[in-house]
Structure 1
Amino acid sequence: SGKTTLLNLIGGIEPATEGEVIAGGRDISGLGEDDRTAYRRDTVGFVFQFFNLVPSLTALENVRLVAELTGRGDRERSRAALAAVGLAERGGHFPAQLSGGEQQRVAIARAIAKDPALLLCDEPTGALDLETGRGVLRVLQDLNREGRTVLVVTHNAAIAAIAHRVVRMRSGRVVEVTANPAPADAAEVTW
């Protein structure tokens, strides 16, 4: 119903065909391909449902890969990103040696290692069980509490309880925007 397209527009993956896309106070809808690439590299971190980790690289190497592509690839920043998601001791493990929840947290670490202003997450709990999903949501909620903008796209309506703002879509259109002045703690969410 347009949720992934919305992420792609906000993330600068797809150009807008009409209207405006305002991200961080900046209209990105008119950016050319090179400027959209720079915007993605410098401003946006992406977390996808299916992790997209390189199987032949360790967790730390997966995190460093993206950080190096952005020019922010020092080993300590990558280690700090793994520590932020609770995986400081798992950096030397390959994806096949990690659980699904650990792989998703490596994907989050990879996204935050470049210190993006905006973190875009497409179904980050979609392939996870309840407890593992809650753990991933706790990480995202902590990142938001630290001042990072986190946008989560999901079919799971229960996750809306932890959001500050909820945008509901139907058939590719925004049908409702509501503020949530008292978001629930991720540990309380159930589905």
Structure 2
Amino acid sequence: MRIVCFVAALIAALVFSIPVWASLPYYNSDIGYTIWLPKGWSEVSECDLKSVEQAGTPFPVRGMMPDWQAGYCSPAEGGVHSLLVEVQPGRKMHAADISNFNRFIVESISRSGQAQWQLPDTPRLTLKDATYIQEKKTLRLESEVVHRGETMLSLTYIVYTRKGMLTFVGYVDPGDAQARKSIDKAVLSLYLDDNIRY
């Protein structure tokens, strides 16, 4: 009987430890969160973040210049930055404020995509999906971005915190379902420190 219990405990330990082996936690003490990244992903250096800003990476809300505070990349994508993080300081928003802000963001992106005039170098956006994940206090936006003849899928997550918002932005090829799933899983695994958790 003891052998059966031992084998059952060993199998349970293996089953529950597989997700841990498949991803690694990264703690960002400056911002205050832990994120579980897929195996093989790594943090982006501060120098690389600056080069992304200077390159003018398209951002889903027109007119906003992002200030990336952190980033993560996947070697499967040739070192291309897969996930970037921006901090929007502020206050804790009430549920009605979050709802209104979500509506404003979705309408702004929809309007910008419907604009008939486009400057030659301006990214064109088409909102594909917008979902608010209540238990995570996260608005997930999926947009198609056409910039300089290239098409990318932009995955944006606005995470509401006690001290404002965190914005996570990932860019993947439109047909790369695995990369999209990996970014979704990583951002939705986010664990905020007590002092900023909503």
TM-score, reference length from structure 2: 0.28
TM-score, reference length from structure 1: 0.29
Greater fraction of residues in strand: 2
Larger-gyration structure (1/2): 2
